[in-house]
Structure 1
Amino acid sequence: MEKISMSHEDYLEAIVMLGGTTEQSVRSVDIAAKMGVSKASVNKAVSTLKEKHLVDQPYYGDITLTEEGYEYGTSVFGRHELLLKFLTEHLGIDPEVAEEEACQMEHAISDDSFKKWAAFIKKLDA
């Protein structure tokens, strides 16, 4: 799957966090509120995500994820959750700081490095 920008990954993750799937749509106003951005920013990002076939949106309608978009969004969200858990539970980092840092780390780590790191963490938790 082709990598997209950190910002666009954040939009996919937000849609997943709001309960968006290939069947369940979300409103752009809810995405804007969740991300603390304007509705215009959401519309611009959604246009790009539509071009990349990651979301569907009928003219001024609600937004659903394509299969590829759902897979990508849940992957980003899963990375975030595992990183957040590691930072808070294993390292004792303040949850607010860990939330921000997990968000940065989820984009920066390669897929291969993340898989190896996740396997290592699973051994720790076993």
Structure 2
Amino acid sequence: MDKMSKSHEDYLEAIVMLGGAVGSSVRSVDVANKLGVSKASVNKAIGLLKDKGLVEQPYYGDITLTEEGSRYGRTVLDRHRMLFFFFTQALGIPEDRADKEACLMEHAISDESFEKWRSYIASLGLE
């Protein structure tokens, strides 16, 4: 799948973090609270994610990730966690700054570059 906007990746990541997976759902209001956005913003984003086949949501119902949406959301979350760990543990960056910067970088780095970085970190025994 092609790379999506930072905003849409954030929605998928938030759904995964809230426990949403294939077969389990989350409420729009919980996604709104997690991301600090309005419920209307969530509904608009979910509509676009539905069009891409990444989530399912019956009319005004709870949000469920499709297989592809779950895979994409987990990938974004894994990137965030790995970057956060590296920043805090290997570089000693304070957690609040590391979290913000990991969120920025998780969206910007290409899949190819991230995999090369992941392999390098693993070769150092830091993974």
The TM-score with structure 1 as length reference comes to 0.98
1:21-32 matches, cutoff 5 A: 21-32=21-32
| Unaligned ranges ≥5, structure 1 | none
SS in 2 for 1:64: strand
Shift of 1:53: 0.5
2:19 is aligned to 19
Answering whether residue 60 of structure 2 is matched by residue 97 of structure 1, we say no
In the other structure, the counterpart of 1:86 is 86
Q: Cα deviation per residue 1:67-125 (whole Å; 9 max; x = unaligned)?
A: 10000000000000000000000000000000000000000000000000001111112
Measure the CA separation in 1 of the matches of 2:50 and 2:17: 19
**1:115 counterpart letter in structure 2:** E
Tell me the amino acid that sits aligned with residue 110 of structure 2.
Answer: S
The Cα offsets for residues 26-59 of structure 1, whole Å up to 9 and x where unpaired, read as 0000000000111001001000000000000000
Unaligned runs of 5+ in 2: none
Q: Determine what percentage of the aligned residue pairs are the same residue.
A: 64
**Residues 42-53 of structure 1 correspond to what in structure 2 (within 5 A)?**
42-53=42-53
For residues 106 and 41 of structure 1, the distance between their equivalents in structure 2, rounded to whole angstroms, comes to 22
Q: Which of structure 1's runs of 4+ aligned residues deviate more than 4 A?
A: none
1:65, distance to aligned residue in structure 2 (A): 0.2
Distance 2:125 2:29 in 1: 39
User: What TM-score do you get using the length of structure 2 for normalisation?
Assistant: 0.97
Q: Which residue of 1 aligns with 2:55?
A: 55
